Structure 1
Amino acid sequence: MYKSEQLAQHLKRLIENGSWSAHTKLPSLREQAEISGFSLMTVMNAYQDLEAQGLIYSKEKSGYFIAEHLKAQMPHSTTIVSLNPKIEINSLVFKYLKSIQSKDILPFGSAFPDHHLLTPTKLLQMVSQKARDQKSYDQTTNLPPGNLALRKIIAQRYAMQGISTDADDIVITSGGLDALNLSLQALTQPGDYILLQQTTFYGAWQAAERLGLKVITLPEHPTFGFDLQAFEQVIQHYPIKVCWFMLNAQNPIGFTVSDDIKYKIAKRLHEHQIHLIEDDVYEELFYGMNKPLSMKYFDRSNLVLHCSSFSKTLGAGFRVGWVYAGKYSEKIQHLQLMSTISANALIQNALVEFVSSHHYEKHLRQLRRRLEKNKKRFTQYLKQHLGQCCEIYSFPSGYFLWIRLPLHIDSLELYQQLITQNIGIAPSPLFNVSDSNQHYIRLNCSFEWNPSIQTGLDTLIHYILNLQSQS
């Protein structure tokens, strides 16, 4: 363990046990170096790590301060575990996605980062070079399970995280959603029970509706994000076949579940022999130095199918995903050959060259820094103007903000009003099928600040305050 990690863990324990109250000023970098005996650089790295975790915050020319406890950052759970035997969300999602397609719409509702931050020049050069080589279009070597060289590179990246992997465990797909859908189809039959987080990516709801599955939902825990007690109750009382969870930079809320809770989830899955489809498409968009562990890391029974994608780091044009399928690899390939067949051969070949070079890691570091900077500015601006009537939930990863509106404001109505002004937002009915808790919106804050962005935010603020004044 690095010295900065040791110091960060020590300070984290002091924060979590209440030794320091919220907004208490920490010792300066120089003072902390004298107290701890570590170098200034080590102390600075530790403070930056704690800031990335949301435990402390910095003020220009003033130093570092203790942040509000995480409990104050999470929406309170107001709904118990619920059974959703009939899901009807596809029509709403279809209409919503059609409504935000126009290039004139300010894309605060988009699921993708700002395209200006993606598709690095070096990658485009590699694509251009590959495009002139006829062998790059050879589809036979890129059919399921996908390009062997790309699968080997992905397997190596798993190994770097301490996850033993072979290229044969990996199936390349046409994006992360394709990986998730194929995995769910491989593991379930119509009428099976599956377990979802109560507020989750709408693709999970769509897949459940399409496959005729019965859905049980877990409420979010107000402190830890994942309600372990509710999870244990559900798997004891319902014949859950599959869980579909997003535990790193969860979409739409944004929290990351601790390693301790992930370990306990894996233990319960093993005890009850329940499979987990892990949606981890935001795995690379963490802040700070330490990448969060995936559930696959804790899987000792081959019950976790880990799904991810390049589309959130390289853009929608590079919609290539994968699933760590293990023993289900062949079944997923059979399903794939009956649907999407395979991912684009040219893109797979270009990714082999780009991801295996130092350019990919350099791009990821730059992307994380810019997303963190942009998210912080959005958060500060919205808290300044809406802090009296809304709660802004901001977590140290990804590029989404989850905003709790006043109780009487319906997020779908707000979305419909804003779309007439060419502003897109993502209302909570896309992520939660219950009739309650529909006063939240998800906001994409990956965009570089400019007059157009500020004008769009000012319009959003105006509409919220106007609806608030009508109560």
Structure 2
Amino acid sequence: MYKSEQLAASLRNLIENGYWKENEKLPSLRQQVETSGFSLITVMNAYQELEAQGLIYSLEKKGYFIKEKNIKENHPNNIVMNDNIKINSTVFKYLKSIQSDNIIPFGSAFPDSQLLYSAKLMQMLGQKTKDQSTYQQTPSLPPGHFELRKQIAQRYSMQGIVTDPSDIVITSGGLDALNLSLQVLTQPGDYILLQETTFYGAWQAAEHLGLKVISIPDHPEGFDLEAFKNAIEIYPIKVCWLMLNSQNPIGYTVSDELKYEIAKILHEKEIYLIEDDVYEELYFDQKKPLSMKYFDQQNRVLHCSSFSKTLGAVFRVGWVYAGPFTEHIQHLQLMQTLSVNPLIQSTLSEYLSHRHYEKHLKNLRKNLKRLKLQYFQFFKDHLPENCTIEYFPSGYFLWIILPKNMNSHVIYNQLILKKISIAPSSLFTRNRLSNQIRVNCSFEISENIQYALDQLIQCVQMENDSLNTGQDQSIV
């Protein structure tokens, strides 16, 4: 066991036994160095480990404090109320740690740029740069470029969702669409509902806006309908933020039948839904799964999506099907992000007006399916038998469940020193389980990628052997 892990385990024991009270300040890093005899870097790593586990939180220039325990009432289905969320600093530190160009990005949220590159799109962008009219800002102010909104509206209509361009607001990416939607629908102190394991941006937004989060447990079918019903009966839920197609980080897609049941409940209870559907185009089957917007009867679903996961960060343009909330969202945009790059909007509009995008998507899905299967088979062949690999036919993530007592943040720390990133489960959930990792499988298996995969397996195997040795010794 590393010294930092040893210190973290000792401090965790004190915390769990009530040595410090909630929100009480811990000894400073230098005080802990003097008390423990460990180096400053060891103490710092131990504190960061405890923060990643959700036991402590940090305040800039003030130090580290004991985190309030989640209120777990005796309700069925393990519904949890989270009213003191502290995740922004954890996510910030994680994202900073994986930014280097020489990091092998298994922890990235974006597909490999080599798969996203479209020569035709870049050719159109080059041609647009020579057209002075595309530099006019006014046509791209909220709600965004009309022709682009028209193209997006047509895509909805092709899915059986009658849509007018006036329903669409163009945003600076999918996360911007989601955050604007949440700001429009909530006030500080409101209750919102999330899946227990979900995109960390949802937890960040809840922390930023001062919201109380009710989380429902993960489920083999992707969504726990009974826990959802119970949560709505117990708490005054105002908004749900759900990702039901190619969910991040686990990867499942909820059946259309289950979506219909969810929509009925939202309709009956008059609850709003923010639908995070940024992976909607990355399905592997012949038929595109329906969105929750398809089942919307009262304009209570704000559907958010983006081009960034299919065309890359250069085309980080998103949108929200906001319906009656379009004007309110535009007001917020004018105060915050103002507008999206008019040159990019104009280029996307022309690209979508032809069949170029559909051809690109077809090829992208084919490659993602091929690569995901390759990674799945590799992990299946090389990970210890007590590891579980969640495979779903969409997207580019594999969700790996490690042995129960293994900490995925420890694996992350070991790999980042080798310039390899993974995404530990502490980024996606506020519960105490920390034994899962998300792996981006969109990279061709080159010599460097194979090395990184081997290192990942080696780290997991070493931790697994260490756990088994410890168990054997305890039995003796």
Normalised by the length of structure 1, the TM-score is: 0.82
1:16-57 deviation digits (Å, cap 9, x = unpaired): xxxxxxxxxxxxxxxxxxxxxxxxxxxxxxxxxxxxxxxxxx
Q: Which aligned pairs between 1:221-300 and structure 2 lie closer than 5 A?
A: 221-222=219-220, 224-300=221-297
- For 1:463, the aligned partner's letter is C
Question: Hey, what's the Cα distance between the residues in 1 that align with 2:216 and 2:293?
Answer: 21
Question: Hey, what's the Cα distance between the residues in 2 that align with 1:305 and 1:119?
Answer: 29
Question: Hey, what's the Cα distance between the residues in 1 that align with 2:437 and 2:361?
Answer: 27
Aligned partners of 2:79 and 2:214 also within 8 Å: yes
Cα deviation, residue 220, structure 1? 1.2
Question: Hey, what's the Cα distance between the residues in 2 that align with 1:452 and 1:413?
Answer: 22
**Aligned: 1:429 with 2:435:** no
Select which of 393, 398, 421 maps to 2:395. 398
Quick check: 393-402 or 128-137, which moved more?
A: 128-137
Q: Which aligned pairs between 1:81-120 and structure 2 lie closer than 5 A?
A: 81-120=79-118
Select which of 420, 441, 448 maps to 1:445. 441
1:235-271 deviation digits (Å, cap 9, x = unpaired): 1111101000000000000000001110011100010
**Aligned: 1:348 with 2:312:** no
Q: Counterpart of 2:49?
A: none
Cα deviation, residue 79, structure 1? 7.1
**3-state SS of 1:470 partner:** helix
Q: Counterpart of 1:365?
A: 362
Give the % identical residues: 64
Q: Counterpart of 2:51?
A: none
Q: Counterpart of 1:470?
A: 466
Aligned partners of 2:196 and 2:218 also within 8 Å: yes
Q: Counterpart of 2:26?
A: none
Q: Counterpart of 1:460?
A: 456
- For 1:84, the aligned partner's letter is N
Question: Hey, what's the Cα distance between the residues in 2 that align with 1:413 and 1:334?
Answer: 44
Question: Hey, what's the Cα distance between the residues in 2 that align with 1:414 and 1:330?
Answer: 46
1:374-395 deviation digits (Å, cap 9, x = unpaired): 0000000010001513101010
**3-state SS of 1:278 partner:** strand
Question: Hey, what's the Cα distance between the residues in 1 that align with 2:406 and 2:133?
Answer: 56
- For 2:460, the aligned partner's letter is I
Question: Hey, what's the Cα distance between the residues in 1 that align with 2:249 and 2:435?
Answer: 13
**Aligned: 1:324 with 2:321:** yes
Question: Hey, what's the Cα distance between the residues in 2 that align with 1:100 and 1:211?
Answer: 26
Question: Hey, what's the Cα distance between the residues in 1 that align with 2:383 and 2:445?
Answer: 18
Question: Hey, what's the Cα distance between the residues in 2 that align with 1:411 and 1:171?
Answer: 38
Question: Hey, what's the Cα distance between the residues in 2 that align with 1:387 and 1:176?
Answer: 37
Over aligned residues, Cα RMSD in angstroms?
Answer: 0.9
Question: Hey, what's the Cα distance between the residues in 1 that align with 2:381 and 2:144?
Answer: 49
**3-state SS of 1:180 partner:** helix
Q: Which aligned pairs between 1:309-320 and structure 2 lie closer than 5 A?
A: 309-320=306-317
Question: Hey, what's the Cα distance between the residues in 1 that align with 2:372 and 2:385?
Answer: 20
Question: Hey, what's the Cα distance between the residues in 1 that align with 2:236 and 2:209?
Answer: 17
Cα deviation, residue 357, structure 1? 1.0
Aligned partners of 2:192 and 2:213 also within 8 Å: yes
Question: Hey, what's the Cα distance between the residues in 2 that align with 1:248 and 1:356?
Answer: 25
Cα deviation, residue 408, structure 1? 1.7
Select which of 333, 336, 342 maps to 1:336. 333
Normalised by the length of structure 2, the TM-score is: 0.82
Aligned partners of 2:169 and 2:320 also within 8 Å: yes
Q: Which aligned pairs between 1:161-176 and structure 2 lie closer than 5 A?
A: 161-176=159-174
Question: Hey, what's the Cα distance between the residues in 1 that align with 2:255 and 2:326?
Answer: 29
Question: Hey, what's the Cα distance between the residues in 2 that align with 1:183 and 1:255?
Answer: 24
The total of aligned residue pairs comes to 392
